[in-house]
Amino acid sequence: MNKETITKTLTDLFSLEDKVILMTGAAGAIGSEIAKCYANLGAKVVIADFNEEAMAEVKQEIDAAGGESTCMKLCLPDEDSIEEVVNGTIEKYGRIDVLANIAGINKRTLMTNGAEETFDRIIGVNLKGSYLISISVAKKMIALNETLPEEQKVHLSIINVASYNSVMMLGGNSVYGMSKSGVAAMTRSQAIEWAKYGFRSNALTPGHISTKLTTQLWDDPYYSKYMLDRIAMARPGYPEDMLGMSVLLASDASAYMSGQLCIVDGGCLAGGQPWEI
């Protein structure tokens, strides 16, 4: 097989050229890697985050590689902030082809030590924020499609971020797990309610990922062993491990996928490392 045929086949399946991708949490450890990957594949990436300094760094890297991106400050779950970002994206690019709800936060604490403020903040960003921005984008793309000929209609792909904790739990992650279980249910609801508009929704579902925010866990002998014993591949995941699935869900290669938890966990939920027999 010649390289031109291989390149054309891959491009036809996975190219993101000229797709407009609005990403929340695009300045974070996982979000920034996905944003750069999307831009490298030809997407016009809107980097939406609350951390303006981190956003500027991601944009600088995208620009240096010849990609296209723009930064918009986003404070979830504030509705005015959401509307400003969604409207700003449409004003700049005319449409939104992919909404990637990457933004997420956590605070590990036992339920008996829980506080209403912690609950509201985690649920607000992880679930309510994704819920509100998804509705805003969906409504606007439905309205836009009513004005467009069939060949120009937007086939919106929503990528939510669920978690290992959508399915299994770790102690101290109760509110985070609630929020991510809600994200899983929201993904299925979006898939069944918005399919008639040509929209689809799937959830990128990471396992145990090593980032700056989880360094203290991976550096701890007890917790790192606990996690590694439960991962068949016997290693943590890294942000770059999320890229393949993120591209699949944003591209037309996944045109018949919707309502799925797309698990990237090194074999953790499959059962972890086997016993020695």
Residue 214 has pLDDT above 90, yes or no: no
Q: What is the pLDDT of residue 95?
A: 98
Residue 267 CB: number of other CB atoms within 10 A?
15
Which amino acid would we find at residue 192? I
Between 251 and 173, name the one with better pLDDT.
251
Mean pLDDT confidence for 129-150 = 98
> What is the band of 68 on the pLDDT scale with cuts at 50, 70, 90?
very high
Q: What is the pLDDT of residue 169?
A: 84
pLDDT tens digits along 156-203: 999 999 999 899 888 888 999 999 999 999 999 999 999 999 999 999
Question: Tokens in use for 59?
Answer: 């944009």
* 35-39 contact pairs (CB < 8 A, 24+): 35/62, 35/69, 36/61, 36/62, 36/65, 36/67, 37/243, 37/246, 37/247, 38/246, 38/247, 38/250, 39/65, 39/67, 39/68, 39/69
Q: What is the pLDDT of residue 217?
A: 84
Catalytic residues: 176
Mean pLDDT confidence for 49-53 = 96
pTM (whole model) above 0.85: yes
Residue 1 has pLDDT above 80, yes or no: no
Question: Tokens in use for 236?
Answer: 């943590």
Q: What is the pLDDT of residue 50?
A: 96
Sign of CA dihedral 182, 249, 42, 63: positive
Residue 53 CB: number of other CB atoms within 10 A?
8
Question: Tokens in use for 7?
Answer: 């390149």
Mean pLDDT confidence for 69-77 = 98
pLDDT tens digits along 87-126: 999 999 999 999 999 999 998 899 999 899 999 999 999 9
Q: What is the pLDDT of residue 212?
A: 82
Question: Could you give the CA distance from residue 55 to residue 28 in angstroms, rounded to a whole number?
Answer: 9
Between 99 and 226, name the one with better pLDDT.
99
> What is the band of 2 on the pLDDT scale with cuts at 50, 70, 90?
confident
Sign of CA dihedral 266, 159, 88, 86: negative
Residue 42 has pLDDT above 80, yes or no: yes
Kindly report the CA angle at 126 between 108 and 128, in degrees rounded to 5? 130
Q: What is the pLDDT of residue 276?
A: 81
